[in-house]
Structure 1
Amino acid sequence: AFFCLLLCIPWGSSCPPSCQCTQRAGAKAVLCSSQHLEEIPKDIPRDVVFLKLDANSITRIPSNAFRHLSHLEEIDLSRNAIEKIDRAAFRGVAAGLRSLDLSGNRIRSIPKEALLALKARLRLANNPWHCECSLQEVLWEARLDPDSVRDITCHTAPRQEYVGKPLLQVLDAGADFCGARQRSADAAVLVTMFGWFAMLVAYVVCYVRHNREGSRGHGDQLSSLPSAQAPADASSTAL
């Protein structure tokens, strides 16, 4: 009877030990705020809609961290110690996610693939961002929360004058981090093409020089051969 009871309990009804599972607006919410968690719990119920993991010590969002949570609409990961977000961190929930809060962490950079696939409204403020092309693309293409977008500040940047300023202000002033990368890529292509061209020219010069030396040697060999005309001249003289 005990094993039958276990089988009758739906898997999704379990709750992580450090969390509270409640109903919020008719949907399941898992509340794990301020529980000293160092990683995302593995046993989150599959039917969760609202997930609060804020004010913990989580340092990384690994690939497929929420893949089995197909009903998930809101994730709050603010005020953690997140430094790394894998490219496939939000695989499986990108289509249905409406809100993602990553503010107040230690994120310096993030793969643009991890965020640009999301349709959720993003909060990225108060992180020590390194202003670069990928962050610029996220700012232009992702759905950022309008109330927090001005708090995305350049903690480090290619130029000292950008440090400490909101990324939006830097871009409005005419900076283009992706343009600098494109120019570097174009320069690298030109250098490579010049190298190949120089090798081709060197090969042609060597080939022509080798042929000239071969022709000259062949001519010298012919000139050193006995003339066929000389015996004929000697015979006519004898007559």
Structure 2
Amino acid sequence: MPQNVSLCVPSPSVSVVDFMWRPLLLMLLWPSPVMTSSPSTVAMWRHGDSNAAMQAANNGCYYSESLDRGLTVRCSAMGLTQVPPGLPNRTVRLYLDNNQLSSLPADSFSALSLLSVLDLSHNQLSLLEAGCFNGLSPSLRFLDISSNRLSTLDPAALGGLRAHANLTHNPWHCDCKLQVSMPQLDLDPSSLAEVVCQTSDLHGLGAVGMPFVLLAEDWDLCLSLRRTTDVAMLVTMFLWFSMVISYLVYYVRHNQEDARRHMEYLKSLPSRQV
């Protein structure tokens, strides 16, 4: 038994031309599902920040804007070898995790005066240059540099930074620099046991493999540095006194020689007869 087949036939009230052009008009007028820029990038264009919007569209990071117009910038897992240039100064949260960053040069984030969260975890960071966090000390509240290749933490790199920090899973060399830098950061108590000394200046004392917080409680890692400084100061003072004494000896001997010659000269003069 034949089945009923319904055919799509234009309504008599609609012309054939209209019937053919309507789908095409719908395709042209319907918004494209593909967006080359995030909504916040469009917002930056709307607010006149064209340079930031252009760089935002080009660096491939994802931008989202909060109600207070602060930006969250996600550049995770993009294979970056350096901090993307031209980040908007309205950036409040910046995620650079799971990239290939090996170092942070000075002033890497100096234009981001509102930045409060910085995630640098799971990179290859082995060097934090002095001043790399310049400009962040008033605003930064959380810093994640876990799972990198950091062995030392120079106080000059922190630049007065005080933030809640995650330093776990790095091959730390426990020395005086680390002991001076640690108190500047607010470390999560639950993660302190995972900040472990892979090497240390305290040889033969079982420091390797020990959590830094336990090592710092029992030992002054700056003591050896202070001893070295004291010895250098003593040697310098000894050399200085030696030079002064040598000069005094030379001065006295030189005056004695002059006095002897003067006396011999006086004796050689003919005596006056009265």
The TM-score normalised by the length of structure 1 is: 0.84
Structure 1 distance, partners of 2:158, 2:195, is: 15
1:235 counterpart residue number: none
Q: Does 1:169 align with 2:214?
A: yes
Deviation at 1:183, TM superposition (A): 2.3
- CA gap of 1:145–1:25, structure 2 versus 1, over 3 A, is farther
- CA gap of 1:128–1:144, structure 2 versus 1, over 3 A, is same
- Kindly indicate whether the alpha-carbon contact (under 8 Å) linking 1:55 and 1:79 is maintained by their aligned counterparts in 2: yes
1:188 counterpart residue number: 232
Deviation at 1:71, TM superposition (A): 2.3
Deviation at 1:22, TM superposition (A): 2.7
2:169 counterpart residue number: 126
Aligned residue for 2:165, secondary structure, equals strand
Q: Does 1:107 align with 2:160?
A: no
Deviation at 1:6, TM superposition (A): 6.1
Aligned residue for 2:198, secondary structure, equals strand
The TM-score normalised by the length of structure 2 is: 0.74
For 1:87-236, list aligned pairs within 5 A: 87-115=130-158, 117-160=160-203, 161=205, 162-173=207-218, 175-229=219-273
Q: Which has the larger radius of gyration?
A: 2
Structure 1 distance, partners of 2:238, 2:57, is: 63
1:171 is matched by which residue type in structure 2? A
Q: Does 1:80 align with 2:80?
A: no
2:32 counterpart residue number: none
Higher relative contact order (CA 8 A, sep 6+): 1
Q: Does 1:66 align with 2:109?
A: yes
Aligned residue for 2:263, secondary structure, equals helix
C-alpha offsets along residues 112-147 of structure 1, whole Å, 9 cap, x if unaligned? 033251232111122122222221012223222222
Aligned-pair Cα RMSD in Å: 2.4
Gaps of 5+ in 2: 1-43
Aligned length: 225
Aligned residue for 2:118, secondary structure, equals strand
Deviation at 1:221, TM superposition (A): 2.3
Q: 2:49 aligns with which of 10, 23, 26?
A: 10
Gaps of 5+ in 1: 233-239
